[in-house]
Structure 1
Amino acid sequence: MQITQFFVKGIAHSSYILAGKQNCAVIDPRRDTAIYLEEAKSKGLKITHILETHLHADFISGHIDLADITGAKIYAPEAANCEFEHIGLAEGDTFEIDDMSIKILETPGHTPEHICYVVSDTSRGSDPVAVFCGDTLFVGDVGRPDLFPNRAEELASKLYDSLHEKLLSLPGSCEVYPAHGEGSLCGRALGAKRSSTIGYERKYNYALQIPDRKKFVENLTTDMPPAPDHFGRCTEINRKGPTKLKELPPVKEIPPKEFFKLSKRDETAILDLRCYEGFGGEHIPASWCIDFRGNFATYAGWLLPPDKQILLVSESEKQAMESVVWLHRVGLDNISGFMDGGIFAWVTAGFRTSHVPQLSIPELHERIISKNPLVIIDVRALSEYEVFHIENSIHIPVQDLRKRYEELDPEAEKVVICSTGHRSSMGCSILKQHGLSRVNNASGGMTGYNAAGFGPECPICALSWAGKVGRGGKP
C-alpha cells in the first residue's frame, strides 16, 4: 500500500493517490487532474477508483474530468444525491483495491452527507491503517458545521457523534489524512502538519478535548470565520457535476480596441490581477483588483459576480493562464480572455485609466497626526482587527464593502488598510466601482505600520506562515 499526497497551497487542499501493486484510487481530486495521471503513469498504476468524501464547498472537484479521461468509477456519498453517474456509498459498505479493504463510515457534521474511507492493508493485517476523513477531522481542528446556517447546531451535534462514536473508535495508530490543511476556511485553526494519527489527535486536538456535547456545539457554532460566497456555489456544482475543462471555450488574447468594447457591456467584469502597486499606478476604470500574489483564488471566488464574463488584465500571458487555472478551481468558468499587451497596450491605444494613490506607512502616520486626517477603513477580519487597530479606524471586512460602502461619506478622503496592502487594494477597487473617488491604499498595511514602530507587532501578521501560503493563500 502506498499513499501519495498532493497539496494545493492556495486553497490548502489535500488530495491523495491510494495505491496497491497495480491499481489505485484518487481521493478528493482537484479540478486540474494531470498531476494524478502523471503520478500513476510514473508508477505503472491504473486509476480505477475516484473517491469523494463529500460535496466540497471551497473548490471544484476533478471527479468528472478524471472519470472521463481514465474510465474509473466515481464513488460518492449516497446521501449527496449526486446527478452524475456514480456508485453511492453508505455506512458499512466495503470494497477492495488490490490488497486493500476500504470500509465506509458515515460522518455527517461538516456537511450532511459526509463519509470517511477507512483502509486496511490486508497483506499485513486486518486493523485499519489509514482513514481519509475529508473535512470531518483535521490536524488540530475539526470541520466547521456552520456552512448550512439554519442547521449549524444540528450538524455540530452530528459532528460530535461522528468524531466520538466513529473516528475516535479507530486504533490510535491509524493514520489521519484530511482534505485540508493550514490556511483553509473549512475549519478555524487547522495545523500546519498535513497528516496525523487518531491517537495524536485524540490527545492534542482542541475540539476533541471538549467532552460535553453542549459545549462542543457552542464552541463550533460561535465566532466562526465568514464563509466565502463561492462555498454554496461550489457545493451545488460538485453535486451536479462540473463542466469538463475540455468543453470550456479557450481563453484568448483580446486586442485593446475589442477589449474596450467588451468592457462596456453590463455582462462583463474586468479583473486586474497585477501587483497592487501597478494597479494603483493606472488601471481600467471599474476594474476589480485581486493581486495574483495574494489570496487570489479565495477572494476571486468570494468577490467576483459569477454570472459575469471575466476580462483579465495581467502582467503577462503566463500570469493570465495561471490565473485561469485558479479561477476554474473556484468555479469561475466564464472567462472571455486577457488583454493582449496588458495595460501598456491599453494606454498606448489612447484609452482612459484610473488611479489609486499608494500611501507609504510614514505618510499615513503623518496624516493621522495632522490636522487634516483621513478616514481610515480597516478591511481585515474581525480577529485581526481586535488584536490591534489604528484608533478611530472603521472596521468593514473587505467582502462587506460591496454593500457597506453606503455607510461611508463619499466626499471624505479615505485610506484603506489591511495587513499588507492586498485586501486593501481590493477594497479600493470596490469603493471606486461605487463612485467613491477620494480613495488611497495603505501600502504595507498593518505589517508595515507595526514594523515602523507605530504599533505593536501583530501576532497574526508575524506568524512564520503569514504571506507565504502561495497563490490564493496569503492573508
Structure 2
Amino acid sequence: MYIQQLYTGCISEAAYYIESEGEAAIIDPLRDTEQYIQLAKERKAKIKYIFETHFHADFVSGHLDLHKKTGAPIIYGPKTETNLPVHIASDGEIFQLGKISFEVLHTPGHTIESCCYLLKNESNKPHAIFTGDTLFVGDVGRPDLSSGDLSKEELASIMYDTIQNKILPLADDILVYPAHGAGSSCGKNLGPESFSTIAEEKQNNYALQKQSKEDFIKKVTEDLEEAPKYFSINAQINKDGYDSLEKLKKNALVPLNIKTFKDKIDQDAMILDTRPGNIFTAGFVPGSIFIGLEGRFAEWAGSILPFNKSIILVTEIGKEEETVVRLARVGFDKIEGYLDGSFEAWQNAGEPIDMIIDIEVDELAMDIKHDKNLQVVDVRRETEFAEGHVKDAINLPLSDMTDVMTLAAFEEDQNLYLYCGSGYRSIIASSLFKKQGIHNIRTVIGGWNAIKEEKKIKTLKDVSALN
C-alpha cells in the first residue's frame, strides 16, 4: 500500500494518490491532471478510480479530464445530482484496489452529497479516512456554501448527526486526510497540519467534543466570514462540466504584440499582471489589475476578477503557462493571450506606464503628522483589523473592493496610504484604486507586520499614531 498527499499551498488543497498492486486511485484531483498521470506512470500503476468527496466550491476539479485520459470512473457519494458521467455510490459501498479497499461513508453537512472514503489495509483493518471537507484538522466544513434551499443551521444539524454517527465511532488510530489545510475558506479555523488522527481530532477538534446539537449548531455557524464570491461559480462548474485544460491553454497561451494587446484593451479586455509586487509597483501597463503569483493567487483572482470578461496577461517571461493553469484551477476560461516580451516590451516601445509609490513605515509615521489630506486604509479582514491597526485607519477589506461605489466614496484630493498584513494585498488594492482613476496612492512596505515592529523603535516619533 502506498499513499501520497499532493498538497497545493496557494489554495490549501490536498489531493491524494493511493496505490496497491499496480492499481491507483486519485482523490479530489486538481484540474491540472498531468501530475497524477505522471506519478502513476513512474510507479508503473494504472489509475482505476477517481474519487470525489463532494462538489468542490474553491477549485475546479480535474475529474472530467482525468476520466477522459485514463478511462477511470468518477465516483461521487449518495445524493449527488449531476448529468456528468459519474458513478453515484451508495452508503457503505466497497471499491477494491489491489489488496486494499475503500468504503464509502455518506457524511452530509458541508454539502448534502459529501462523503468520506475509509481505506482498509490488506488485512481489512481501517487504516485511514479521506474526509474531504467534512472533517479538517481542528475544524469541520462550513455549512453555508451550497446544498440548495437548506439553511446553514439545517446543514449544521445534519453535520452534527454525521459527526455522531459516522466520525466519532471510528477507531482512534485511523489517519485523517482532509481536502484542505490552514488558509482555506472552506472552514473557519483550520489547524496548521495537513493530516491528523481520529484520536487527535477527538481530543482537539471543537466540533468533536461532547455537546448538545444546539450548542454544536451555534459553534459551527457563528463568526462565519462571507465566502469568496467565486465559490458558487466553481461548485456549479464541477457539477455541470467544463472544457479540457488543453483546449483552454491552446486559446490562452498566445503571444500578443503591442498592437494586438492594445486592440484587446480597446475591446474591454481586462489586464491581469502577475509579476512580483515590488516589480509591478515600479511600473505597469495603465489599467492593470495586480495579483502576484507569489501569494494566494488563485483565491484572490477568483474573489476579485469577473468571470464573464476576457483577460489578457502580463507575466514574468516564462511564467505564462503557470499563470494560465492557476487561473484555470478556479474556473477562468476567457484568457485571450499574454503580452509578448512582458512589460519591458511595452516600456521599450515608449507606451505610457503607471506606477505605485512604496513607502517605509517611518515615512508613514512622518506623513501622518504633517499631511492633513492623508487617509490610512487597512485592507485586511475585519477580524485582523480588530486585533490591532493604525489609529484612525479606515478598514476596507480587499474582498469588498470589487464594488466600484465603495472605491468612488473617496475624495480626489485624499492621499491614500494602504497597508495589509505583509504587503501583498495592499498592492492588489492599490491597482484596483488606480483602475478606478484614484491615483494618490501609496503602499506601506511590509504592511502591518512591519508597522508592529516599528512601534518598538524609540526613534519613531509618533508611535501614538499606531494602535
Tell me the equivalent position of 2:259. Answer: 257
Write the distance in 2 (CA, Å) between the matches of 1:333 and 1:413: 37
Write the distance in 2 (CA, Å) between the matches of 1:210 and 1:386: 31
- 2:373 touches 2:413 (CA, 8 Å); kept in 1? no
Deviates more, 1:20-29 or 1:398-407: 398-407
- 2:168 touches 2:208 (CA, 8 Å); kept in 1? no
- 2:418 touches 2:426 (CA, 8 Å); kept in 1? yes
Tell me the equivalent position of 2:154. Answer: 154
Deviation of 1:210 after TM superposition, in Å, equals 5.4
> Deviation string for 1:67-115 (max 9, x for gaps)?
1111111111242212211111132222222222322211111112101
Tell me the equivalent position of 2:140. Answer: 142
1:129 alignment partner, one of 127, 130, 138: 127
Match status 1:30 vs 2:30: yes
Write the distance in 2 (CA, Å) between the matches of 1:370 and 1:414: 14
Deviation of 1:310 after TM superposition, in Å, equals 1.0
Output aligned runs, 1:120-269, within 5 Å: 120-121=120-121, 123-124=122-123, 126-148=124-146, 151-209=151-209, 211-248=211-248, 249-250=250-251, 251-266=253-268, 268-269=269-270
Write the distance in 2 (CA, Å) between the matches of 1:214 and 1:455: 49
Change in CA separation of 1:445 and 1:455 when aligned onto 2, cut-off 3 Å = farther
Runs of 4+ in 1 over 6 A off after TM superposition: none
> Deviation string for 1:342-368 (max 9, x for gaps)?
112112222212222212211111111
> Deviation string for 1:190-244 (max 9, x for gaps)?
1222221112211111222251221221121111233111111110111112221
Output aligned runs, 1:63-462, within 5 Å: 63-121=63-121, 123-124=122-123, 126-148=124-146, 151-209=151-209, 211-248=211-248, 249-250=250-251, 251-266=253-268, 268-316=269-317, 318-372=318-372, 374-403=374-403, 404-453=406-455
Deviates more, 1:55-64 or 1:439-448: 439-448
Write the distance in 2 (CA, Å) between the matches of 1:99 and 1:82: 31
> Deviation string for 1:156-215 (max 9, x for gaps)?
111111112111111111211111112211112212222211122111112222512212
Q: Which has the higher contact order (CA 8 A, sep 6+)?
A: 1
Write the distance in 2 (CA, Å) between the matches of 1:281 and 1:452: 24
Deviates more, 1:431-440 or 1:335-344: 431-440
Deviates more, 1:321-330 or 1:402-411: 402-411
Unmatched runs of 5 consecutive residues or more in structure 2: 459-467
Deviation of 1:28 after TM superposition, in Å, equals 0.6
Deviation of 1:371 after TM superposition, in Å, equals 4.8
Deviation of 1:150 after TM superposition, in Å, equals 6.1
Deviation of 1:373 after TM superposition, in Å, equals 5.3
Write the distance in 2 (CA, Å) between the matches of 1:278 and 1:22: 47
Unmatched runs of 5 consecutive residues or more in structure 1: 457-475
Write the distance in 2 (CA, Å) between the matches of 1:381 and 1:275: 22
Write the distance in 2 (CA, Å) between the matches of 1:118 and 1:202: 17
In the alignment, residue 288 of structure 2 is paired with which amino acid?
A: S
Deviation of 1:270 after TM superposition, in Å, equals 0.3
In the alignment, residue 29 of structure 2 is paired with which amino acid?
A: P
Tell me the equivalent position of 1:52. Answer: 52
Change in CA separation of 1:281 and 1:101 when aligned onto 2, cut-off 3 Å = closer
**CA RMSD across the alignment:** 1.8
Deviates more, 1:402-411 or 1:379-388: 402-411
The count of corresponding residues between Structure 1 and Structure 2 is: 452
- 1:367 touches 1:373 (CA, 8 Å); kept in 2? no
Secondary structure at the counterpart of residue 450 of structure 1: helix
Change in CA separation of 1:133 and 1:371 when aligned onto 2, cut-off 3 Å = closer
Write the distance in 2 (CA, Å) between the matches of 1:263 and 1:35: 35
Deviation of 1:455 after TM superposition, in Å, equals 9.3
TM (norm. structure 1) is 0.91
Deviates more, 1:334-343 or 1:347-356: 347-356
- 1:134 touches 1:178 (CA, 8 Å); kept in 2? yes
Deviates more, 1:56-65 or 1:243-252: 243-252
Write the distance in 1 (CA, Å) between the matches of 2:292 and 2:421: 14
TM (norm. structure 2) is 0.93
In the alignment, residue 66 of structure 2 is paired with which amino acid?
A: L
Write the distance in 2 (CA, Å) between the matches of 1:455 and 1:65: 55
- 1:449 touches 1:455 (CA, 8 Å); kept in 2? no
Tell me the equivalent position of 2:9. Answer: 9
- 1:210 touches 1:216 (CA, 8 Å); kept in 2? no
- 1:51 touches 1:74 (CA, 8 Å); kept in 2? yes
